[in-house]
Amino acid sequence: MSSPSYDDTGVEYYGIASFKFVSGPPTDIRIAYRCINPSAQKTVCIPTCFGGRINTTLSFTGSDEALHNHRVIVVAMLGNGESSSPSNHPDFPKDIDYRDCVNAQYQLLTKHLRIKELEAVVGFSMGGQQAYYWACMYPKFMKYVIPICSSAKTSLHNYAFLEGPKAALTNSIDYEDGAYRTKDIKPTRGLRAFGRTYCAWALSAHWFRERQFERLGFSNVEDFITSNWEDAFETWGPEDLLILAKMWQAGDIGKTHADGDYLRALEDIEAKVLVMPSRTDTYFPPEDSEVELQHLKHGELAVMETIWGHMAGGGVNEDDTIWMSDRIAKFIGARNSLVGGLKATSLE
């Protein structure tokens, strides 16, 4: 996490009239997105993650990266503050579903951008869960699906973890059980408590033991928590964080399947799936990915051997990013191995 001022470089918007949510009445919405390499022939969609904005999303489009010759559409999921969200839409639903996000993204791609097929859907964390939903809801629309540090169904442990930051925000004195909205104030203490509670989960014990925060320019762990996590979440809309956290907790591709069984939904996925967990991810552990792989017809598992925990999948550590880019390139046949100047960990 970091807390730069908002970067709207290249961000565009598409309006959808009377969008039908899974729950709630039809509502006009808008979808924020950015198109990178617009003249490329093959197209990849990358939905944002929790805490992510369009221009903080890892796109693998650098000159030496896996998707440098692809048209990449980075799409802000509903609720993230860029697309329609509680913070910018007075009639936004109280709850949203990953199916809402994917249906809105499908309309953006097909009706506005006139895209007929995708080479891949790639996503980190909540973006990876959206990628799984894409594979289930529009099975013939893409060739590859690449969930990074993610899962097809949110585990009970993951659900319980999210209850902590949610409670820190909603029980803060300045949140006032939601009454802050009628007083035109921002629950700053609650937002900062959300970030402080979240921090340790995102990185591994090994990472803290080795004082890796010093590599990021922080002299001690308190400075890291305050400046990197509290400051970052203070910039968010409180209800945006809460609605996204609830959607994350309810993540389950079984909802796209007739019998509600997420394992059967995995079995029905036609796309080729590259599952990339981090060895030290505390809430999307590789053991969950191994279960998923057993039910995928065309699945491949690539575990990042890293101490950077969940955050490894978000591009915060250059070695991990090089490794991910190399595996993606090999998986979709984009080009030869990228691993070069920096040492990248491999299972091979």
**pLDDT tens digits for 272-319?**
999 999 999 999 999 999 999 999 999 999 999 999 999 999 999 999
Q: What is the pTM of this model?
A: 0.94
- Partners of 13 in the beta sheet? 32
Cβ neighbour number for residue 221 with a 10 Å cutoff: 14
How far apart (Å, rounded) are the C-alpha atoms in residues 79 and 198?
19
Name the β-bridge partners of 79. Answer: none
Roughly what angle, to the nearest 10 degrees, separates helices 126-137 and 238-249? 50
pLDDT tens string 204-245: 999 999 999 999 999 999 999 999 999 999 999 999 999 999
pLDDT tens per residue across span 45-97: 999 999 999 999 999 999 999 999 999 999 999 999 999 999 999 999 999 99
Q: Residue 138: which residues within 8 A CB-CB, separation 6 or more?
A: 102, 106
Q: How far is CA 75 from CA 9, 127, 227, 245, 311, in A?
A: 14, 10, 27, 18, 20
Cα angle 312, 315, 316; round to 5: 75
The whole-number pLDDT of residue 4 equals 56
Nearest-angstrom CA–CA distance, 160 and 241: 16
Average pLDDT, the chain: 94
Token representation of residue 52? 């992510």
Asked if 202 and 186 touch (Cβ cutoff 8 Å), the reply is: no
Which residue, 201, 162, 219, is CA-closest to 1? 201
In degrees, rounded to 5, the angle at the alpha carbon of residue 45 between the alpha carbons of residues 17 and 240 is 55
Beta-bridge partners for 45: 73, 121
pLDDT at 22 over 60: yes
> Closest by alpha carbon to 246, among 49, 63, 81, 96?
96
Q: How far apart are CA 335 and CA 133, in angstroms?
A: 27
CA distance linking residue 70 with residue 221, whole number of Å: 39
pLDDT tens track for 301-314: 999 999 999 999 99
Task: Please tell me the predicted confidence (pLDDT) of residue 338.
Answer: 38
Q: How far is CA 200 from CA 14, 77, 263, 319, 327, in A?
A: 37, 25, 31, 21, 28
Task: Provide the token pair at 190.
Answer: 């609650």
